Structure formats: structure tokens, C-alpha cells
Amino acid sequence: MQSFLSSFRTQASIRTGFQQYLTLSVRSYIAPTTNPAPLAGIRVLDLTRVLAGPYCSMMLGDLGAEVIKIEHPKGGDDTRAWGPPFADNKDINDNTNGESAYFLCANRNKKSVTVNMKTKGGRQLLHDLVRHSDILVENYLPGKLDSMGMGYEELSKINPKLIYASITGYGQDGPYADRPGYDVIIEAEAGLMHITGEPDGSPVKVGVAITDLTTGLYAKSAILAALIQRGVTGLGQRIDCSLLESQVASLANIASNYLIGGREAKRMGTSHPSIVPYQVFPTKDSFVMIGAGNDGQFAKFCHQVGLSHLLEDDRFKTNSDRVQHRHALVELIKERLTKENTAHWLEQLNGAGFPFAPINNIQQTFEHPQLKARGLVQEIDHERAGKIKVVGPPVKYSGFKQSIRLPPPLLGAHTNEVLKTVLGYDKNKIEALRVDGSIGK
């Protein structure tokens, strides 16, 4: 009993300390509000570009953090030039391409500050920002920032509370650490491409940079965990997040099938290795996705499509039986579904008690009544592009509402603001940094 009470008091002390820390942290940046966002008062220094890192920092911004995106004065984030398509350029005196759709998808709720890290003034500026930041996210090759005076060891001396998240292709150590990481390369190398595609076809990549997105999600959750731990210890830490490990961790049951059962995976198109029927089927005019995940759902499916006699066939009694006789069952279902159009089957299956769906294109996706009802797509005002539509935050909270406070920024749009308000630089110092090339024009 004494041990239990001691443990309880310790846990209570930790909780109290964490609550006090969060209160002080928020008050140091903003005035209290009724329902502040979870990361209100947290400042993120974002040294990332392309997708995995920017996606991570954007999600932190959606949760209320102030995200300061550091970009090179000449060109900034690579994806600013990744187009077409570009959002319409509204300034007839501006002969640039406008804003790339790629950049716009991953950089809302951020401020852009242009810094040349190769200059002494640029490095000092970043050191000053580190003193006033909670989190730094970077995706340089291991050792690159160390050589520029921006590595974790040096910055943690400047700010021991700093959470320093590194996103790389292969991690900070090991024989592949110095290799650059690209989504499609990791898809190939980490097993995903091997299992994606039709059984008799070539390996194919997923239609979006899913490894980058997955890694960004892992990095975000790691940063949030480190924030909680900092509330207990008062200290930051280094986070080492790689595309390779994130992708392998996302292999889920495919990885487990190999590790536990020694079963090598293979491409199966849209079908499932352990459930039948669970795949796309052709109809008379297009396709439909059927997901009968258990025996009860299979029975409902058979009744709805006029295949009730299959329920008396010993080959299809249980899911294990259906997996064993996959080819025969799939051919019977194909023969039936190709007799009618997709619209007929969607109406016939509606409310039947098992999952199914049409194969929507992107236009049909954004016309989906559920997405419209949930308000996922938001329209925002952009300084150069005017009114643009973006996919907003996908998670909803009862205690606060995620919002797009800032549109994706123009290159360097907030340099003066951040240097004045965060660092207290006067206009003479800012102009001197601009003249010597430490910041952009």
C-alpha cells in the first residue's frame, strides 16, 4: 500500500508539473483565451522543404502553433517551382509563374522568412530564433546542419528545451545514412512497390507520395510526445525519423505475415490476401469496390446480387474456404456483376449491411455529399492568387476548431515581421542583414 501511495503521489506531481508548465508556456506567448488551440503559444522553426517535413509542420500549424518557415532567398522551397498547375497570378506586373498547386497543399498556417544559412549573419539570426522556439524540424542529410553550426548538439546548448526533429531518408546512422531519401525510391526499397499493382503486371507506385505523408504523420506524433515529456523533464530532445522505417512500419499485416508466418507478399491488385471477396469488380460499364469482411456480410452480398445459391456451396462456407477457392468465387461474382451497370448495383446494394463503393475520380471525390457536409474543402484568400480552394484539416475536435489562420505564404513575406516582433531587431539591423545577403530582398 505504501508503495502504491508513493507511486500515486509521484504521478500526481508529474501531472501537476506538466499542467503548470503548459500554462506558463502558453502565457509566455499569448494572452489566455477561452478555448485556445492545443499548440497555441508553441513556436516551430521549420527548416524543411518538399513534402514530408512541410506536411508535418503544417499539421502543427493547424493545431495552433506559430510556424516560421525558413527558406533560401533564391527560390525558397523547391515545390514553389513544381508546376504546372499554378494558381492564377493576379499581378500583371509580376512575370513569375504564380503559386504552384503543390506548394499550396502543404504550407498553410506558416510564416515565410528568407535566410541564407551560409552567411554569418544568417546563422546568428537562426540561433536567435532557436532561443525563442520550442520545436525545430529539418530534413537535411545527416551532418549537413552540424557543419553549418545548426546541429542538435550546438542548438541544444543555446536552448536546452528545444525539440529537434530530423526527417531523413534512412536515419541518422547506419550504412545508408548519407543517402538522400525520395518517396518513390523508398516505396521501391521498403516493400511497398513490390505489393502494389496487378498480379501479372509490373510494380507501380502509389498515386500520391504516401511514404512522405506517412513519415510526416509519424514525425508529428513524435513531436507531440516529446512536448508532453518536456512538460515533465523540462528538457527537449532529438527526434530521428526516417522515410525507410516509417514505410516499413506501415506495411502492417503484410510485415506481420512475413515476420510471424514467413510468408512472402505478392502483388494482388485491389484484392486482400486474407479476405474474399474484398476487391474491385468490373460491372457492365465501369467498376465497383466490394468489401465483404466476414461470413455475415458475404451472405448479405450474395442475397443482394442474386447469388444466394453460393451460400450452399461448401467451397464458400467460411472466409477461410473462400480464400482457398478465391479464383472460382471471384469469377462467379464477375460474371454476375458485369450483367448490370454500376449505377444499378449502387442502388441495389444501398443499405444492404456491408461496405461497397464506386471508383470515384478526383472530381467525383470532391463532389461527394459527405465531404461537402463536413466542410473539408475551404476557400481562402491568397495575396497573389486571390481566392483559392484547399483541403482543410481532416480532424475535428470538440474543444476547439482547427482553422486556416494564414494562407500559404509568399516567399519571405514575413521576414521583417518575425525579425522585429520575435527577435526585436530594429530596421537598421534588418537592412544590414539584407545588404550582406543574410536575408532576402
Active site residue 88: no
Amino acid in position 256: S
Give counts: helices (H), strands (E), the chain.
17, 13
Q: Return the DSSP state at 157.
A: H
Q: Return the DSSP state at 340.
A: S
3-state secondary structure 360-412: CCHHHHHCCHHHHHHCCEEEEEECCCEEEEEECCCCCCCCCCCCCCCCCCCCC
Give me the residue label for grid cell 502483388. Answer: 267
187, 211 in Cβ contact below 8 A? Answer: yes
Residues 6+ apart with CB under 8 A from 243: 52, 167, 168, 169, 170, 181, 183, 186, 190, 211, 212, 215
Q: Which member of 212, 295, 381, 426 is catalytic?
A: 212
Please give the sequence-ordered ranges of beta strands (E in DSSP) within 84-194, or none if there are none.
86-87, 99-100, 111-114, 135-138, 163-168
- Summarize the chain as % helix, strand, coil (round to 5): 45, 15, 45
Residues 6+ apart with CB under 8 A from 136: 44, 45, 47, 130, 155, 162, 163, 164, 165
300 by Cβ neighbours in 10 Å (0-12 / 13-18 / 19+) ranks as middle
Q: Is the omega angle on the peptide bond into residue 180 within 30 degrees of 0, that is, cis?
A: no
- Residue 356 CA from chain centroid, whole number: 26
Q: Return the DSSP state at 185.
A: H
- Residue 19 CA from chain centroid, whole number: 28
State the distance between the two ends of the chain, measured CA to CA, in whole angstroms.
Answer: 67
d(CA 106, CA 58): 6
Residue 206 half-sphere exposure toward CB, CA atoms < 13 A: 17
23, 116 in Cβ contact below 8 A? Answer: no
CA dihedral 228, 229, 233, 235 (to 10 degrees): -90
Active site residues: 212
